[in-house]
A and B are shown apart, each in its own frame.
Chain A
Amino acid sequence: MRKSIFFKLALILIPVVLVCELVQLYISYRTIYDSNLKTVSKLTESTSLTVSEMFRYFDEDSENDQYEYGLELSRMCETWGVTYIYALDVDIDKRSEKYLAIGFGEDAAEIVKKSRYAGVVVQGTVSDAQIQAYRNKENSFIVHEKTELDDTITCYSISKDKYDYTNYKIVKRDKPILIGAEVSFSAVMKESRQRFFSTATYDLIFTFMLTLAIFIVFYLRVNGPVRRISSRMKNFVSDRDKGVEKLKVRGNDELAEMSRSFNLMTEEINSYITSIDSLNKEKHTQEAELDIARNIQTGLLKPGSYENGSVSINACMHAAKNVGGDLYDYQVFDDGRVFICVADVSGKGISAALFMSRAITLLHQYALHDYSPSRMLREYNNTLAEQNPNGMFITTFAAVYDPKTHQLTYSNAGHNHPYVIADKLIELDGALGVAAGIFEGMEYEQETITLHPGDVVFLYTDGVNEAENSNGEMYGTEALENELRKYIGAAKGNISDEVLSTVREFSGHADQSDDITILTLKLEQASLHDEITVKNRAENLKIVIEKINALDINEETKAQLLLIAEELFVNICSYAYKGKDGDITFVLDIGNDQASMIFTDEGEPFDPTADLIDIEEYDHENSIGGLGRFLAFELADEYSYAYENGKNTLKIIKKI
């Protein structure tokens, strides 16, 4: 209750009303007072004047007159409501006055009645007013005196004339008689006051009641609607589902306006919430659709890695948000042939994912039926184009590798050129045809390339070279080619993963703009272990060379192996047995991406790895020695020497 605005209003209003009332009453009272004052003044004046006329006929010597006039004065007092009327004979010098006659009204004080009567002389009560009146002689003189005893209004007048009974005319008196008509104002006011206070009381009570009544009416009139609006607002959200009734609007005042506004606002809020709801649903539907699309997409893909003895495949597809449509596929047949492909669908969402699934299914079928890549793409394009209402297209690169012939046969329907990492980076830019799915009847060329163990075929989609960083720069095919060149003649681990992480590093914090798909087909080295022992004659080098030449590795590595073998073999031949005959054992091992050669002899302990020349310090003008060993160990990736069990053992490792 204390919090209520009405209570606060009451706290202000009631004192204000009270104060107003009191002011009003005070003004009333004063008005009465003044009015009384005026009335009484008039009364005393007329009384005084009348009496002074009357006293023309007064004979101060006649006791009878004193008595009669006294009675008359009292009668007049009573009739006119005057308290005292008296006639005085004033002696100014002595300041004494003699009462000639006196009349008493209702309110006359007992003490005065007893002490003032005709003939009594009173000393020292001549007031200045009386003196002034006496001297004035002309008119009446009204005076308002407040003493301890009383509050009186007196009108003094002079009776100057006297009737001469003898001569039947009015003559001047020797000594004027001072007439005083006195009214006890306090008595008058007392009566007024009583009446006033009773009226005032009723007035106050009435005002209070009225204020209260108005207050209550106002409270009821305002509080109700305000409460209703407030509770509607509070319950707006929870009641929304039940349906919000509009507030009843009565009248046209501010409260009605507020109710109307509230109704309007709830309408607007409701429609706003409804439209947000539907937008959200739409958004969720879209997101759900994209999720489904992505799931379809990833569900169709083969596992990310595969290995048999002759090939290893690593593949990954990282979908970008809101985009669907890259795929990779591979298939290894019983006879060891390998089918690989990557493709990129033009559309987005579920329709792209479904198109993609059709594409993969077709490719599987055709590969199983032993179609060549060219025929595969032809049939595939025709089938897709036959039923493609959305006009989607799919770029595809398809290839078949035959380990028996080491041949990779491929066809390309509008897809980016794959690479082969051999002893150099080869771009497979042949056999480029039109993207599949649009035009029926397209023909696709086919090309073949011979591969070697250790080679890697690198397939990718444009999410790789078109990957953007936060500056909007693209990774680019040049950067990709440079990256791939790093793997020439080096260990080829999981190139897919490594290229992917390089691309991701380039992109940094920028969002992935397109699907990134990579597939690598690596031709494994057949492992080999070969051992031969020959005599320490330079011409036996041919045998070692033959063995190395027979290896199925890239030419550059092979040439280096040949060089290493030549230098070391010749070195051993020349020095190990000090001119005598001796055996040299040569062991060649291929496996785990490396070739290792081990030379063993039973000659003089000699460490060929020691005292190698420093090519910076070498005197190229004049010297010629030491180059052989230098070159051998320079070209090797790893080397080691040991003399154990009476044998020099020299091991060289070269990565292939």
Chain B
Amino acid sequence: MTTEVKKANGAYTIKISGGIDTLTAPELEQTFKEIEPQADKVIFDMKEVDYISSAGIRVLVYVHRAMSSKDGLVLRGLNKNVSTIISLTGFDKVLTIE
């Protein structure tokens, strides 16, 4: 999995490529923690994400809750598989998905 961070004013877009699983989720979390203080809003561009497991969902939820006091977390570009998994967990109703 790779991440690419772009900044536009207070909004940080993290483009993620690959799968967010138990082995790569910590890396994503770490990337977020690095920009967390400066970020008003976080956008995950997940067009290139082909896989997500519960570990990945946990990171998404963590970031979502962390940003809830600010402008929040937005998920973009979810493909069919990833959407399905997130829907199964019911977190599609909690997370902001565009």
Contact = CB atoms under 8 A, between A and B. Distances in A.
Interface of A: 538-539, 541-542, 556, 559, 562-563, 566-567, 570, 615-616, 618, 620-621, 624, 627-628, 630-631, 634-635
Interface in B48-98: 50-51, 53-55, 57-58, 61-62, 81, 85, 88-91, 93-94
15 contacts: A538-B23, A541-B23, A562-B51, A563-B51, A563-B53, A566-B22, A566-B55, A567-B53, A621-B94, A624-B62, A627-B58, A628-B53, A630-B89, A631-B85, A635-B88
A618 B92 CA distance: 13
B21 interface: yes
A618 B90 contact: yes
B28 to A, nearest CB: 15
A632 to B, nearest CB: 8
A627 B51 contact: no
B83 to A, nearest CB: 12
A539 B23 CA distance: 7
Nearest to A562: B51
Contacts, number: 51
B51 A559 contact: yes
Contact of A541 (B22, B50, B61, B90): B22
Nearest to A559: B81
B59 to A, nearest CB: 10
A631 B93 contact: no
A570 B55 contact: yes
Interface of B: 21-23, 50-51, 53-55, 57-58, 61-62, 81, 85, 88-91, 93-94
Nearest to A570: B22
A624 B90 contact: no
A542 B23 CA distance: 9
B88 A631 contact: yes
Contacts of B88: 615, 631, 634-635
Of B23, B54, B62, B94, chain A has the most CB atoms within 10 Å of the CB of: B54
B81 A620 contact: no
Q: 6 closest Cβ contacts across the A-B interface?
A: A628-B54, A627-B54, A620-B94, A615-B90, A570-B22, A566-B53
Contacts of A567: 53-54
Contacts of A562: 51
Chain B at the A interface: mostly helix, strand, loop or mixed?
helix
Contacts of B23: 538-539, 541-542
A556 B50 CA distance: 10
B61 A624 contact: yes
A549 to B, nearest CB: 11
Contact of A566 (B21, B89, B93): B21
B92 to A, nearest CB: 10
Nearest to B58: A624
Nearest to A564: B53
A79 B50 CA distance: 166
Given A563-B85, A627-B54, 10 more contacts: A538-B22, A538-B23, A541-B23, A559-B50, A563-B51, A624-B58, A627-B58, A630-B89, A631-B89, A635-B88
A643 to B, nearest CB: 24
B30 to A, nearest CB: 16
B66 to A, nearest CB: 12
A620 B91 contact: yes
B81 A627 contact: no
A634 B88 CA distance: 8
A570 B50 CA distance: 20
Of A556, A559, A621, chain B has the most CB atoms within 10 Å of the CB of: A559
Contacts of A538: 22-23
B43 to A, nearest CB: 21
Contact of A627 (B50, B57, B62, B93): B57
Nearest to A625: B58
Contacts of A539: 23
A115 B89 CA distance: 163
A447 to B, nearest CB: 25
A533 to B, nearest CB: 20
A615 B89 contact: yes
Nearest to A621: B94
A92 to B, nearest CB: 159
Contacts of B58: 624, 627
Nearest to B82: A559
A627 B89 CA distance: 7
B93 to A, nearest CB: 7
Nearest to A539: B23
A504 B77 CA distance: 43
A133 B22 CA distance: 171
Contacts of A630: 54, 89
Contacts of B89: 615, 627, 630-631
Contacts of B51: 559, 562-563
Contacts of B91: 620
A541 B21 CA distance: 11
Contacts of A635: 88
A541 B93 CA distance: 30
A123 B37 CA distance: 187
Contacts of B22: 538, 541, 566, 570
Contact of B90 (A566, A570, A620): A620
A608 to B, nearest CB: 13
Contacts of A615: 88-90
Contacts of B61: 624
A631 B94 contact: no
Contacts of B94: 620-621
